[in-house]
Amino acid sequence: ESPQTQLWPVDDQRAEAALLAICEDARLVEALLAIEGATASQRAATEAQIDSWASAVRLAVKAAPHCPATGAGALREVLVAHGNLRGDAGCYDAAENSLIAAVVERRLGQPVLLSSLWIEVGRRAGVAVAGVGLPGHFIARVGGPSGIYVDPFCGGRVLTDRQCRKIVEDVSKGTLPWHDDYLATASTHEIVQRVLRNLMRARRAAADQRGMYRAVRFYAALRPDDVEAALVHARMAEEIGASRLAADLYTALIARFPTSHEAVVAERRLSPLHLVIQALH
């Protein structure tokens, strides 16, 4: 079995193809389960729990299903007070906090995963919930474009516009100017990409090269026009020892983005890689 086959087995090839199709259809939970590589039993348990939470929320909002305050209160009661979903401040960067089946099982997660659960439970319960990708901290909005902002990582506390601005100010230590489009609705693609970036950091910190490569490859597949993602993909393949794959990726990058700075970097990496490949023969 070749290093490339070991690095990207058939199951991962299928997961990559499925992830692309799922994101196009905006099926958020399925996309997150594909990223995780969840087993059939993990998928079933995750879906069943989300359905159970959604049923409870649907009952709670029956009298006023379109009221943002009612919806936010019901979600907070079901997911936080009873479901005990909360932010993992102690081990924030742990990979498990970016894997939806693990988050549902442990009841701990990062902001984007907890917000994703609020989004999906709300959708199944008939409550409008959208993700909002503030720089450095993901939150949710309940009740449509004029609804209320909530922070699922902090127990679903309600946020004013000013508090949203303060989050960005604190996260960036005052270096990032405020833009109103920070409050725009995040698409399924954007949510999944954010989760993958978090996973890439977590896997690298844990020295998990296999997991790191998997997250990088998924990210590059979702961002085919992103030259930086293409370079990260090639560099990771090289780092992990898949020399032929890395050479192919560098060559493809140069052909597709010939005038980019990344193409110059790829050119520099190809010569030593070719020497490594020749030595393998």
Which range, of 12-16, 141-145, 249-253, averages the lowest pLDDT? 12-16
Encode pLDDT of 171-215 as tens digits: 999 999 999 999 999 999 999 999 999 999 999 999 998 889 999
In this structure, the number of other CB atoms found within 10 A of the CB of residue 101 comes to 23
* Residue found by looking up tokens 């409870």 in the block: 56
Q: Quick one: CA dihedral 203, 130, 228, 237, positive or negative?
A: positive
- In this prediction, residue 5 has a pLDDT band, given cuts at 50, 70 and 90, of very low
Q: Is 142 helix (H, G, I), strand (E, B) or coil?
A: strand
Buried b (16+ CB within 10 A) or exposed e, 59-85: ebbeeebebbebbbbbbbebbbeebeb
pLDDT of 28 higher than 80: yes
146 vs 7 pLDDT, higher one: 146
3 vs 220 pLDDT, higher one: 220
Q: Where are the beta strands (DSSP E) in the chain?
A: 86-87, 108-109, 129-134, 137-142, 148-151, 157-159, 185-186
- In this prediction, residue 159 has a pLDDT band, given cuts at 50, 70 and 90, of very high
pLDDT of 33 higher than 90: yes
11 vs 223 pLDDT, higher one: 223
**Average pLDDT for 237-264:** 94
pLDDT of 276 higher than 60: yes
* Residue found by looking up tokens 């906090």 in the block: 97
Please give the backbone phi and psi of residue 85, each rounded to the nearest 5 degrees, phi first: -75, 125
**Average pLDDT for 213-230:** 93
Q: Which residues contact 274 (CB under 8 A, 6 or more apart)?
A: 247
Average pLDDT of every residue of the chain:
92
Which range, of 16-30, 46-60, 175-189, 218-232, averages the lowest pLDDT? 16-30
Encode pLDDT of 95-152 as tens digits: 999 999 999 999 999 999 999 999 999 999 999 999 999 999 999 999 999 999 999 9
- Distance (Å, rounded) from C-alpha 36 to C-alpha 90? 22
- Distance (Å, rounded) from C-alpha 8 to C-alpha 35? 14
**Average pLDDT for 17-29:** 86
Which range, of 22-31, 82-91, 112-121, averages the lowest pLDDT? 22-31
